[in-house]
A = this chain, B = another copy of it.
Amino acid sequence: MHPRIRWGIAATGNIANVFARELALLPDHEVVAVGSRNLDRARAFAQEWGVRRAYGSYSEVADDPEVDVLYIATPHSDHLATARHAIESGTAVLCEKALTVNAHEARELVALARERQVFLMEAMWMRCNPLHLRLRELLAGGALGEPRSLNATLGFLADYDPTGRLFAPDLAGGALLDVGVYPVSLAHHLFGAPATVQATATLTSSGVDGTVGMLLGYDTGAVATLTGSLTGPLPNAAYVSGTEGWVELPPDFQAVDRLLVHRPGKDPEEYAVELLGVGYTYEAAEVARCLRAGLLESPLVSWADSIAVMEVLDAVRAQIGVRYPNDAAYDDLATPASDASDSQR
């Protein structure tokens, strides 16, 4: 392992630019290669961020011998193919959320990473935010008593382009995989796997979910009410409650820099941090820590975590009737899962 972490970046969209900007805040990280299906775009990105090599494909970045880890910022529909190629080439992978399009793909990728002994992590940066870690400690320490509920929303009004990555079924668009994955991952971070999953959604004319509402039930008795939307702004806050109080994660909850612990009849207790950048820095630092320690997965966003989240997303999609071309490879995704459509506890 080189003393600096040398990144390759696959794709040059908005999130790739944000990630490059955040990496620039870290002294021991550098981007050494970037790839796009459009070589001109890769060159423009390379010039913008001082990246040495630009490629006209994602696979060439993964194959670049100087690249320690490939950051995959392509549309969801491409994650499996690009990550698979990198892992087969022995290149570590940080892959944007949702990790894949469905849980089958996630399990396939995880099996490959395990077999090839290559690092793989879903870029669920929220879980590396120091206050999200603090929140889990508070819950585990009984600061709220017994867990009762989670309420979280994440949404914005996106320009409607039925062929763009947000709305095209071919690119596994829709609110669920783009923004809904955050409240679902938060619910998993705090409460684990749900016993029941119920969902309702409004579909866009392109056939993906514009707004999705989810209701998760847990064996502990906790319930989670979650909303994601690409067709309207939402408060983007999260509230987790227990028998003795609740924690408020102000907007935007996935990048929170303060937590408020509310207890009836008492002044709120605040935990605040000064974040480095928006918070992708903590994810990059976690990748560096894992690579240096020779880990194959991060305990903050474990393989099991990512698969469990994808299983919830699959159950939601089965109920709201959103199908992607990638799903066609798996017979059981043709019909709703029986446990997902069971609306009783």
Counting CB contacts under 8 A, is A46 at the interface? no
Binds B, one of A71-79, A122-130, A198-206: A198-206
A246 interface residue per 8 A CB criterion: yes
Q: Are B201 and A198 in contact (CB under 8 A)?
A: no
In the assembly, what is the distance between CA of A243 and CA of B204, in Å?
14
* A227 is an interface residue with CB less than 8 A from chain B: yes
A344 interface contact, C-beta 8 A: yes
Which of A155, A216, A225: most chain B Cβ within 10 A? A225
- Docked pose: A345 CA to B336 CA in angstroms: 13
Residue A241 at the chain B interface, CB threshold 8 Å:
yes
Question: Which of B202, B221, B233, B336 touches A223 (beta carbons < 8 Å)?
Answer: B202
Q: How far is the CB of A335 from chain B (nearest CB, A)?
A: 12
Q: Is the CB of B213 within 8 A of A224?
A: yes
Per-residue CB contact flags for chain A residues 174-214 toward chain B (1 = under 8 Å, else 0) read 00000000000000000000001011111000000011111
B243 touches A231 (CB 8 A): yes
A272 adjacent to chain B (CB < 8 Å): no
A113-121, A145-153, A165-173, A289-297 - the one binding chain B:
A145-153
Interface residues on A, range: 35 or more
- Whether B213 and A264, one on each chain, are in contact in the complex, defined by CB atoms closer than 8 angstroms, is no
State whether B341 touches A320 (Cβ < 8 A): no
CB contacts under 8 Å to B, within A291-321, are 319-321
| Residue A156 interfacial (CB < 8 Å) | yes
A237: nearest residue on chain B (CB-CB)? B239
What is the bound-complex CA distance between A10 and B244, given in angstroms? Answer: 34
A198: chain B residues within 8 A (beta carbon):
198-200, 215, 343
Chain B neighbourhood of A102, CB < 8 A: none
A319 to B222, CA, bound (A): 17
CB neighbours (8 Å) of A245 from chain B are 233
- A25 contacts the other chain (CB 8 A): no
